Structures are given as structure tokens and as C-alpha cells.
A and B are shown apart, each in its own frame.
Chain A
Amino acid sequence: MSKLQDTIIQYLEQNQDKLLQGWPDFVQKERNEAILRFKNKGFPSIKDEKWRKTKLKDFLNRYFHPVIASLVKQPEPITECLIPNLETKNVNLINGYFVGKDLLEELPNGVIMGSLKEALKKYPELIAEYFNRLVRPQNNPLNDLNTALFEDGFFLFVPENVKNFKIQITHRLDAPVDALINTRNLIIAEAGSEITLVQCDDSNNHRAHFATYLSEVFAKADAKINWYKYQNINNNSALFSNSYYEVADKAQFYTNFFELNGQLLRNEQYADIIGPDAKVDLYGLYLTDKKQQADNVIFVAHSSEKSYSNQKFKGILDDSGKGFFNGQILVKKDAQQTNAYQKNDNILLTDKARISSQPFLEIYADDVSCSHGSTTGQIDEEALFYIRQRGIGKRDAQLLQLYAFAGEIIDAIELTELIEPTKDLVKKRLNGELDDCEDCILQCAVKS
């Protein structure tokens, strides 16, 4: 058993009552079951198919403080994630705790947003309908860990037909000691609603964090959700973001994750399309160098006919950077006239960079259109020579090409105001500038 596992199990055993105190019954139930499962199973090993390529050992052999208290004594100024001057709501979470003057806001249009902990106190029956419902069949150790230990997270409820609701969420890792951070999020988009979430996962110091962000998102009939995420955490930290989506008929679900920095960034997305005529688009760009690793695990299930799903992930791997892409499509028997696609393209810049790209298609309906594809290559030498022959230096020529490669994922952005900031972020990352923030005394937030 690993050191971290020991630490956690010890904590679970010594704090049995404290962990259940104050939570509604249904949370206690899930928590108890999660604790039992974690005690029995522990962390995934390389024997697990989806973890074969991920080096957890370095993290599991360390000590992390299992639960840290909320640091924030007074309300801090709330920062926007990426776009200043955009008409959005802005919320912040620090080390898994929702911070701000209003821990739970109820807006005139019926939107409820804020701390999940507060929401559980005020709206337990509402949340009971949804909590852990999507996660339960997919229980894995990191979900169990999250369910066992989360103290807080983000809650959003958008009523029927509320359109154009935009929110920027910043999750900041800023622990005073090496720590476990478990954040639990729940988002409910009622029928016909439209939500755009812009999320920044940042760190504000160099401490090692082992963080799980577990999100359940419900897109009811004809709801539209666009979720953009920018992950830029320090190279001592691991962030496991497991996101579960239930997509009803005619709903449109779109995610686009920019995985920029972190020792280990793992994004698992599970989309269950339960109604017809729904649309799921999952995009991602991962840029790894040094000894970083970016994992993307996707599972899209089509349970109903005439729906569309698309997975498009691109990666650039430098130095000894690693990438893992595991993309599954399941088309059930009744899901006729499904269109489901998957593409993963990678560029390796060195001999030591590594990518493992695994597609899985399980198709039980007979009238469908599905495809998958994966490419792994190097920078096009012919194109490089062409660019250099025009007087552009080798490094600049490479940057031009890499940026062009990443362009496809940037072009997929639908929120216009995000395009230029994203371009800048990607440019800076490719040029090594974002790394400077690691050693910079000023510790800029992503938007600087």
C-alpha cells in the first residue's frame, strides 16, 4: 500500500464522525459507501487499463495533508478567469472552498449559484435528485476519494429557458502545505436553458497538490452548455478532473479544454446521451514538456437515436512530455442513425516524448455513421524548410507550425471574446513564456 493511501485511510478511520457530521443523509450514505470502497480498492495501479500509462507512483509515495481548512478569513477580491470586462458572473474557489461575500446567490431569474456546501444546507431535496447519480455506476478510486473527503465545491442551477447565462470560474490551488484537495461540483441546466462556463484551474504557489475535481452536469431537453477550461497549475501538482454529463433530447453539450501546465493533468469525461437529436462536442488541446503528462479519457454513450457526438483532441509533446488518450464510443442497439466521431492528432518534438492513443468503438445499432482516427507525427520537415527558406529562423518556423497545428482547437471556440486570450495563452505556452510564471516572484494569474 502506498504512503498516500495509508495517510488517507488513517484519516478516514480517525475522523469517521467528523466526515459525516452536518451533511444530509443522502450525502452521508454516498460518503460511507465511497469510504468503504476506497479502503478496499485503493488507488488505481498500472494493471488498470486506463492507468497503464500514468505514473502515479511519484505522487502516491509522498505525504499529502488529507484535508486542509479553508484559508480565506475575509472575502478576497474575486478575480475573473480569463476575460476582463466581459459581462459574466465570476466565482472563485480556493483549495476546494467556495469564497466570496455571498456563499450562495439567488438571482432574479431563478439562477442559484455558489458553494455546494451552502446549497446542500438550503436545497437538499433539489440536490438529492442529482447528487452522485451519474458518478455511481462509474465509481473509481478517485471518485471515491472525492466523495469521501470533499468539503465544498461549486453549485449552479439554471431554470428553464434562461438564456445566455455566462459565468467565469477560477479554481485556485494555494495550499500552505502539500495537500489533497477535493472539490465537488454540480451543475443543472433545466430545459431550454443556455450556459457558458469559462473555468481556470490555476495554482498560486509551488506546493504539491493532489487534487480531484469531480463534476456532474445535467443538460435537460434542449439545454445548451458550453464549457471552456484552461488548466495551468505548477509542475509539482496533479489534477484529476472527472466530469459526468447527462445529455437529454435536443440538448447541446460542448467542452473545450486547454491543458497547458501541470505535472499531471487528467481529464476524464463521460457523456451519456439519453435522448434523441442531441449533440455532444468534446475538444481538447494538451501541451506537455519537461516531464509533464496529460491524460484524456473520454466515454460517450449513445442510448437514443439520431444523436451526434464528436471527440477532437490534439497534443504537442516536447522534452519527455507524455500524453494518454483513451476515447470510447458506445452506440447502443436502439441508437439508430447515430453519428459519432473521434480524432486524436499528436506531434512529438523529441525522441523521448510519448503518446499512447487508444480508440474504442462498441457499436450495436446497424444504421450509424462512426469513425475514429489517430495520428502521431513530427513537424513537417518540408514545410519547415519552406518557411526557413523565406528567412524565418528555425525556432520561429517551428513555432509557426506548432501554432498552426493547435489552431484547429482554437478555431473551435464559439465564444468570440475567448479567442484572442486563448491564442495568446497558447502562443505564450509554445514559446515557453508561461513557464516563467513558475519562477516569477509575482505569481501572475492566468490572465496576466
Chain B
Amino acid sequence: MKKQPILEIKDLHAKIGDKEIIKGLNLTVNPGEVHAIMGPNGTGKSTLANVIAGKDGYEVTKGEILFNGKNILELDPEERALEGLFLGFQYPVEIPGVSMMNFMKAAVDAQRKHKGLDPIKPGEFLKMVREKQEMVNMPDKIKNRSVNEGFSGGEKKRNEIFQMAMLNPKLAILDETDSGLDIDALRSVAEGVNKLRNNDNAFIVITHYQRLLDHIVPDIVHIMNDGKIVKTGDKELAKELEAKGYEMLKEKN
């Protein structure tokens, strides 16, 4: 029996202030799939990620977003997160004074509460932290500090993957997670994602560069332009894009 899509976006239109950024976007993501979204700057890739995650400041004027069949447009960001949505931020925020461990425990407990479970016991939590730390090769220093405080760009991105591992979402949207990373960090990030990939979850990887997709091999590649998805293909499409550049979008399909 065919599994229900994790994400269905139908004719989405969204604007910031008076400016329409998403201009009729359709996307379906099924369990077990990794989708890549590529496209020039300013085309709405991050906007799309933020609209799905429920960030303030964006107005959806048309269309719907179904998450496991449920319309999430009326849900707060935390409610969408508890449904199983994770956003790896393009620019992870520094939160001085909030310890990484307290933050993660609060997030894990929020999930458990949503499922009717008690808060996680400290011993169990530490075990979980060590496990995921190993899984994504995250250095100790990250977990002992305030959230993202004083982290380099690469450390921040690795911290996103660590949090993703801790929260084990149904759908993870990684917004330019590879930007600013050297090849080693990139490999670590990709390794983490690949370890978490299974038949029940899905990923949307937003990226500029083909090289990440050598390590996180996508099932489906979309090219976004001017607020819409204009071309969809398999991983070869990404290679074609790399070879021809965005000029190819001007070619007749």
C-alpha cells in the first residue's frame, strides 16, 4: 500500500509585506526520500523553508501545506515541530546564557510530553547525547557551551545536525547547511544525515552547490526560480545545473 506523503505543498503563494516571493509552488515529499532544492539567490528557497516552519512575518495568500495529511498553516512553529518538522537554519542563532544541554533537554521533553511521556531522566538523556554526538562526530565543546555562542560557521552547522539527530524528525529541511563549510565539515554533516536517513523519514536539502549532493545523494532534484519550482529531475539534474549554470533555466524546457 502506498504510504502517505510526509509533505504536500499545493499551489503555495506567500509574501513578505507587499512582495510576493512564493508564486505558486507545488511539492510532494514521500517517506524515505531526499529532495534537493537548488536555485539562484533571491529565488525564495529560504523563504519556502521559513514558511513551512511557520516563521512570523510571512503571509500565505493561497494554497496549502499538508504535513502527514494535516494542514499545518494554522499551527504555531512549536506545534509544527512537534508534528515532526525540523529546520536546519541557514544562520543558526546565538543564544547566550541558554546552555546547549538545557535547551536540548527542554526540546526532547517537549516532544515526549506531546507523545504523553514523562520527561527524560538525566542519565538517559546523557546517554542519548553521547550517542548522537558520536553519530554526527560533534566535538565536546559544542555541548558544554551556550547555544551557538562563539561557534564558527562550521560548528554552528554541525550543531544543527546534532540537534536533528537528537530530535529525530519525520521531515528535516536543511537550509544551505553546506554554506561556509570546508570539505571535512561537509563530510561530517553529510555522514550525519546519511546515518539518520531511513524509510520513514524524509529530507529537503536546500543548497547552492552540487558538491554536497555527492555526499548526500538525492532521490529528486528540483530547481527553483522566481518563487516556483521550474524543473524536476534526478541527481543528474544537479550535475547538469553545475555544468551549465543557471543560464540553462532560460532554455526552453
Contacts and interface: CB of A to CB of B under 8 A. Distances in A.
A404 B95 contact: yes
Nearest to A396: B106
A390 B159 CA distance: 13
If over half of A's interface residues share one DSSP class (helix, strand or loop), that class is named, otherwise mixed; here it is helix
Nearest to A405: B97
Given A389-B87, A400-B103, A394 B78 contact: yes
A387 interface: yes
B143 to A, nearest CB: 15
B96 interface: yes
Nearest to A404: B97
Nearest to B84: A391
Contacts of A390: 78, 81, 103, 106-107, 110, 163, 167
A383 B93 contact: yes
Instruction: Name the residue among A383, A396, A408 with the largest chain B CB count within 10 angstroms.
Output: A383
A404 B96 contact: yes
Contacts of B87: 389
A388 interface: yes
A26 B119 CA distance: 64
Given A391-B82, A392-B78, A386 B163 contact: no
B76 A387 contact: no
Contacts of B151: none
A386 B97 contact: no
B97 A408 contact: yes
A404 B111 contact: no
Given A389-B81, A389-B87, A390-B103, A383 B95 contact: yes
B97 A407 contact: yes
Contact of A389 (B53, B95, B96, B98): B53
A405 B97 CA distance: 7
Q: How large is the interface on B (under 10, 10 to 19, 20 to 34, 35 or more residues)?
A: 20 to 34
21 contacts: A380-B95, A383-B93, A385-B77, A385-B93, A386-B92, A388-B78, A389-B78, A389-B81, A390-B106, A390-B167, A391-B114, A393-B78, A394-B76, A394-B78, A403-B98, A404-B97, A404-B98, A404-B146, A405-B97, A407-B97, A408-B97
A380 B76 CA distance: 17
A381 interface: yes
Q: How large is the interface on A (under 10, 10 to 19, 20 to 34, 35 or more residues)?
A: 20 to 34
A397 B76 CA distance: 13
Contacts of B111: 391
Instruction: Name the residue among A381, A393, A396 with the largest chain B CB count within 10 angstroms.
Output: A393
B89 interface: yes
A403 B103 CA distance: 12
B55 interface: yes
A88 interface: no
Given A386-B92, A386-B93, A392 B98 contact: no
A388 B77 contact: yes
Interface in B165-210: 167
A126 B56 CA distance: 66
A418 B98 CA distance: 20
A393 B110 contact: yes
A394 B55 CA distance: 12
B56 A389 contact: no
Interface string B107-132: 10011001000000000000000000
Q: Which 6 A-B residue pairings sit nearest by Cβ, starting from the closest?
A: A404-B97, A391-B81, A390-B107, A388-B77, A391-B110, A407-B97
A329 B146 CA distance: 33
Contacts of A407: 97
A401 B95 CA distance: 8
Interface string B51-66: 0011110000000000
Instruction: Name the residue among A382, A394, A401 with the largest chain B CB count within 10 angstroms.
Output: A382
Contacts of A391: 78, 81-82, 107, 110-111, 114, 167
B56 A385 contact: yes
Contacts of B107: 390-392
Contacts of B76: 388, 393-394
